Amino acid sequence: MGRWQPDSRGRLQEAALALYSESGFDQTTAAQIAARAGLTERTFFRHFADKREVLFGGSALLQERIVAGVIGAAPEDGPLDAVACGLAAAATMLGEFRQDLSRQRQAVIAANPELRERELAKLADYAAAVAVALRQRGVSEPQATLAAEAGMTVLRVAMQRWAGGKDGPDLSVIMRDSVAELRAVAARP
């Protein structure tokens, strides 16, 4: 796992997650987050458009990485193998985030229906982008959408397993294992 840099952005993120956990997302203000991080509210808004972006700010980059992983898969890879390459790229990026902060993030989102809906909408966006990349590889429908959506399910489940476990295996290992579990589930008994 990479090192988390205690820069302004990182300090704001850490302060926000602590406050969201303690007081609830709706009850926390940007001013409180800035104060907790020892920074000004103006600095907060230089880094984040709003409170929600603290939780979802990395999603455009994450989507790019996932799609790049799919595009970079070997030409002979099947649909789910290509998706697994995208998931490996996601695991590399997400695995650099501190596991304790990921755990807080998951708990904050799980506790708030509006944030849960937003998280699901992001995953649906990733799935749509992955399905496009798969179709460009020649995968037809409905296989492209099914593989993409199933892959995003794996991403979500793997993130929960990772954030839930203390000092467990790293996210890349959990991601690979979760893909294998999906294969096992889908195989005829």
Query: At which residue do the structure tokens 């649906």 appear?
Result: 124
Q: Which is nearer to its own copies, 42 or 166 (CB)?
A: 166
Q: Are 87 and 151 in contact (CB under 8 A)?
A: yes
Smallest separation (angstroms) from its own copies to the CB of 182: 5
- Angle CA 176–177–179, to nearest 5: 65
Using CB under 8 A as the binding rule, whether residue 64 contacts its own copies is answered as no
CB 20 within 8 A of CB 33: no
Decide: is 183 part of the binding site for its own copies (CB under 8 A): yes
Q: According to the binding rule CB under 8 A, does residue 52 interact with its own copies?
A: no
Min dist. Cβ of residue 147 to its own copies (A): 5
Q: How far is the CB of 122 from its own copies (least distance, A)?
A: 10
Between CA 116 and CA 159 the distance in angstroms is: 14
Helix (H, G, I), strand (E, B) or coil at 89: helix
Q: Does 153 bind its own copies (CB under 8 A)?
A: yes
Cα–Cα dist 28/35, whole Å: 12
Residues that bind its own copies (CB under 8 A): 76-81, 113, 116-118, 120-121, 124, 142-143, 145-147, 149-150, 153-154, 156-157, 161, 178, 181-189
